[in-house]
């Protein structure tokens, strides 16, 4: 069965600092990988996704993620964090045979001014 | 387009009561799904539908029923609410069942069962 691990429950960074959120997946075939962001009291918004091609994926709000098959990882990065990036971030994998997402447990990002 | 809408935003039930969480989308999406979000557990799939008249179970279907009579609507029914169903519920839709399709999420319904 597929699974997603986000090892960091909470991360605190200073505004302007770089950010990397970790995501490891377990899936037998070529994965379809997603990063979503959830602001407090809101639904989930897609940041970026990977399903084939270039392993470095650009998303919205200045985020990018790199797919590394050898490490089963899909880490999210941003060069310079803004206070408005404070939110919860979810990594997810989609199974073959249907668009069923398996989510990680999420990483709560706090941005210090 | 309103996207994916959910009603109500908040609901408090007593154990044993029934209710229906509403979900609608105006994007003519084929695929719709329901997730529940619990602290420290991420989101888990309850039920999904690949088109009108077709539904199937996800990871945590017990205690929930769904039906899909139209493309636009995908209600989630709790037949006899239990405290374990206290959660935030999200509805999502995508153009097709293809695994690469982006799913669009509604704003959620926060349900408390006393």
Residue A96 has pLDDT above 70, yes or no: no
pLDDT band at B45 (very low <50, low <70, confident <90, very high): very high
Within 8 A of B104 by CB-CB distance, chain A residues are: 46
User: Which DSSP symbol is given to A26?
Assistant: E
pLDDT tens by residue, B24-37: 999 999 999 999 99
Q: Are the CB atoms for B81 and B17 separated by under 8 Å? A: yes
Say if the Cβ atoms of A99 and B106 lie within 8 Å: no
Say if the Cβ atoms of A46 and B103 lie within 8 Å: yes
pLDDT attached to residue A111: 97
State which residue of chain A sits closest to B10, comparing Cα positions.
A41
User: Residue range B4-28: average pLDDT?
Assistant: 97
How far is CA B30 from its chain centroid?
15
Residue A29 has pLDDT above 90, yes or no: no
Within 8 A of B10 by CB-CB distance, chain A residues are: none
Within 8 A of B45 by CB-CB distance, chain A residues are: 100-102
pLDDT attached to residue A104: 96
Q: How far is B45 from chain A (nearest CA, A)?
A: 7
Residue A82 has pLDDT above 70, yes or no: yes
A42: closest CA among A79, A86, A99?
A86
- What whole-number distance in Å separates Cα of residue A61 and Cα of residue A3? 27
Q: Exposed, middle or buried: residue B107 (CB in 10 Å: 0-12, 13-18, 19+)?
A: middle
User: Which DSSP symbol is given to A22?
Assistant: -
Summary mean pLDDT of chain A: 93
Residue B21 has pLDDT above 90, yes or no: yes
Number of C-beta neighbours around residue B34 at 10 A: 27
pLDDT tens by residue, B83-93: 999 999 999 99
Residue A76 has pLDDT above 70, yes or no: yes
Number of C-beta neighbours around residue A27 at 10 A: 18
SS3 A69: helix
pLDDT band at A97 (very low <50, low <70, confident <90, very high): low
Q: Does B41 touch chain A (CB under 8 A)?
A: yes
Q: Does B96 touch chain A (CB under 8 A)?
A: yes
SS3 B18: coil
Q: What percent of chain A has pLDDT over 70?
A: 97
Residue A22 has pLDDT above 80, yes or no: yes
Q: What percent of chain A has pLDDT over 90?
A: 76
User: Residue range A57-65: average pLDDT?
Assistant: 97
State which residue of chain A sits closest to B37, comparing Cα positions.
A105
Mutate to test the interface with B, among A100, A106, A108 (most CBs of B within 10 A): A100
Within 8 A of A32 by CB-CB distance, chain B residues are: 99-100
pLDDT tens by residue, B57-98: 999 999 999 999 999 999 999 999 999 999 999 999 999 888
Nearest to A103 among B43, B100, B101 (CB): B43
């Amino acid at each position: 069965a597929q699974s997603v691990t986000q090892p960091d429950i909470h991360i605190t960074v200073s505004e302007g600092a770089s950010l990397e959120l970790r995501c490891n997946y377990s899936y037998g075939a070529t994965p379809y990988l997603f990063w979503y962001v959830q602001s407090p009291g809101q639904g989930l918004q897609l940041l970026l996704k990977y399903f084939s091609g270039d392993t470095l994926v650009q998303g919205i709000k200045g985020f990018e993620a790199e797919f590394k098959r050898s490490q089963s990882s899909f880490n999210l990065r941003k060069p310079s964090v803004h206070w408005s990036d404070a939110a919860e971030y979810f990594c997810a994998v989609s199974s073959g045979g249907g668009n069923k997402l398996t989510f990680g447990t999420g990483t709560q990002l706090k941005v210090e001014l | 387009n309103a996207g994916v809408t959910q009603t109500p935003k908040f609901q408090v039930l007593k154990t044993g009561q029934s209710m229906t969480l509403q979900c609608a989308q105006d994007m003519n999406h084929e695929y719709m799904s329901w997730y529940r979000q619990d602290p420290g557990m991420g989101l888990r799939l309850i039920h999904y539908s690949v088109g009108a008249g077709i539904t199937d179970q996800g990871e945590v279907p017990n205690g929930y029923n769904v039906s899909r009579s139209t493309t636009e609507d995908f209600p989630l029914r709790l037949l006899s609410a239990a405290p374990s169903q206290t959660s935030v519920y999200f509805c999502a839709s995508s153009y097709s069942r293809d695994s690469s399709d982006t799913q669009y999420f509604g704003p959620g319904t926060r349900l408390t069962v006393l």
